[in-house]
């Protein structure tokens, strides 16, 4: 394949914004394509020779493993044997799924740690690059208004939700190998849970933040089936969307009779002083009623109610997508002569408040972090 042929395949997805057409041309001009197999050292030696031919001075190398998980091992072994930078740094980005269970994850981790140092490895979870996920640390630890109430004394529950309005769209064969739990819950949602529940780190350095995340995970007991709900979507025969009329098992790429879940809900508990007794509810699914990802923190009822049951619980909602926002549901008096209460919102919607701000894509942030060597938003081996 030539770079021109590769560019043709990307016409529908790699587009320049107005005024950035020349930058896109410069990007494509910097591309090179080398074909080879995943497990042949000669092909990787040829890749190394091609890289040396275009490198000047101190040359850093970044390898992004956007590959089938089954070839992570041979590819990384070949990279270590033939493609390490002789003059600069070498870093490796590993995409999910990072193993299929605890044993395979540990096996892959052990393999990678024999080849690379922890500073060279970047296990990417693109949700950690999203604006509002990164904002969780700032909201929690940069505002006195939230800190004193961020505990079991004031908070009734925490719900972390991920919803997609479409099904597998012909990718059911891939999805069926992993399911919604491995695809979304145990990585995206669990990482958000860690940021919402962790203690204040000593500093904002990557290791201090990741140390606090690990403490949260260690405090979560193993999940029992009685605390989970699993489901699989069926088709809606009345829908105008042809894709919506197909159930999961009607996707021709899905194995017949598959019991793979496309929806999962789980209630996690955290056994520590801050969160004892507070349920953390994780919910994720495909082919649902809307596209949404959010963290919803519901506070307890106001003690000593003087409004005859007219109040409802306060909520702090952090909307990750779409339309990034932070809003707080509060009770206020209705305007006018009456003294009735109504629920309203203190609303910070980014596209309204920061009209001219450019919010970079999650992968854009994270790849830049790799270039500068920051591992704050990446997952550590433990």
Q: Mark the ranges of the chain whose per-residue pLDDT is less than 50.
A: none
What are the catalytic residues?
188
Q: What is the pLDDT of residue 358?
A: 76
Q: How far apart are CA 2 and CA 167, in angstroms?
A: 33
Cβ(321)–Cβ(129) under 8 Å?
A: no
Q: How far apart are CA 340 and CA 224, in angstroms?
A: 44
Cα–Cα distance list, 72 to 76, 212, 318 (Å) = 6, 29, 35
Element (DSSP H or E) covering residue 287: none
Q: What is the pLDDT of residue 284?
A: 94
Secondary structure of residue 67 in the 3-state scheme:
coil
Q: What is the pLDDT of residue 382?
A: 66
Interval 158-198: pLDDT, tens = 999 999 888 887 677 778 888 888 888 888 899 899 999 99
Q: How far apart are CA 182 and CA 180, in angstroms?
A: 6
Q: What is the pLDDT of residue 265?
A: 96
Secondary structure of residue 131 in the 3-state scheme:
helix
Phi, psi of 30 (to 5 degrees): -90, 0
Q: Which two tokens stand for residue 93?
A: 């980005």
Cβ(233)–Cβ(165) under 8 Å?
A: no
Q: What is the pLDDT of residue 150?
A: 92
Q: How far apart are CA 72 and CA 66, in angstroms?
A: 9
Q: How far apart are CA 370 and CA 129, in angstroms?
A: 12
What count of residues does the chain have? 382
Interval 118-167: pLDDT, tens = 899 988 887 777 777 888 888 889 889 888 899 999 999 999 999 988 88
Secondary structure of residue 42 in the 3-state scheme:
helix
Spatial CA neighbour of 185 closest among 285, 114, 95: 285
Q: What is the pLDDT of residue 353?
A: 80
Residue 192 sits at the vertex; the CA angle it makes with 201 and 178, to the nearest 5 degrees, is: 135
Q: Which two tokens stand for residue 145?
A: 């208004």
């Amino acid at each position: 394949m030539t770079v021109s042929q590769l560019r043709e395949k990307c016409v529908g997805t790699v587009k320049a914004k107005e005024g950035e057409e020349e930058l896109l041309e410069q990007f494509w001009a910097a591309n090179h394509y080398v074909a080879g197999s995943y497990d042949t050292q000669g092909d990787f030696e040829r890749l190394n020779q091609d890289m040396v031919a275009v490198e000047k001075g101190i040359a850093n190398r970044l390898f992004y493993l956007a590959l089938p998980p089954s070839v992570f091992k041979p590819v990384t072994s070949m990279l270590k044997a033939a493609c390490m930078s002789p003059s600069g740094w070498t870093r490796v980005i590993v995409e999910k799924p990072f193993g299929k269970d605890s044993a395979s994850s540990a096996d892959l981790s052990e393999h990678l740690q024999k080849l690379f140092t922890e500073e060279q490895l970047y296990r990417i979870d693109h949700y950690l690059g999203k604006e509002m996920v990164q904002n969780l640390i700032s909201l929690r630890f940069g505002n006195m208004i939230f800190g004193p109430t961020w505990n079991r004394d004031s908070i009734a529950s925490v719900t972390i939700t991920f919803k997609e309005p479409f099904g597998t769209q012909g990718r059911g064969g891939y999805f069926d190998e992993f399911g919604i739990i491995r695809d979304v819950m145990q990585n995206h949602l669990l990482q958000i849970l860690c940021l919402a529940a962790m203690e204040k780190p000593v500093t904002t350095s990557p290791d201090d933040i990741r140390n606090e995340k690990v403490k949260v995970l260690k405090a979560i007991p193993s999940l029992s089936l009685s605390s989970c709900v699993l489901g699989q979507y069926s088709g809606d025969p009345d829908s105008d969307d042809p894709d919506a009329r197909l159930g999961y098992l009607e996707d021709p790429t899905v194995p017949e009779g598959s019991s793979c879940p496309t929806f999962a809900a789980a209630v996690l508990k955290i056994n520590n002083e801050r969160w004892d007794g507070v349920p953390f509810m994780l919910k994720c699914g495909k082919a649902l009623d809307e596209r949404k990802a959010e963290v919803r923190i519901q506070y307890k009822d106001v003690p000593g109610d003087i409004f005859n049951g007219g109040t409802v619980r306060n909520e702090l909602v952090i909307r990750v997508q779409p339309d990034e926002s932070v809003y707080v549901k509060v009770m206020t008096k209705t305007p006018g002569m009456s003294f009735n209460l109504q629920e309203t919102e203190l609303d910070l919607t980014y596209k309204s408040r920061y009209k001219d701000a450019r919010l970079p894509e999650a992968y854009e942030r994270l790849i830049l972090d790799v270039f500068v060597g920051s591992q704050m938003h990446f997952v550590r081996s433990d």
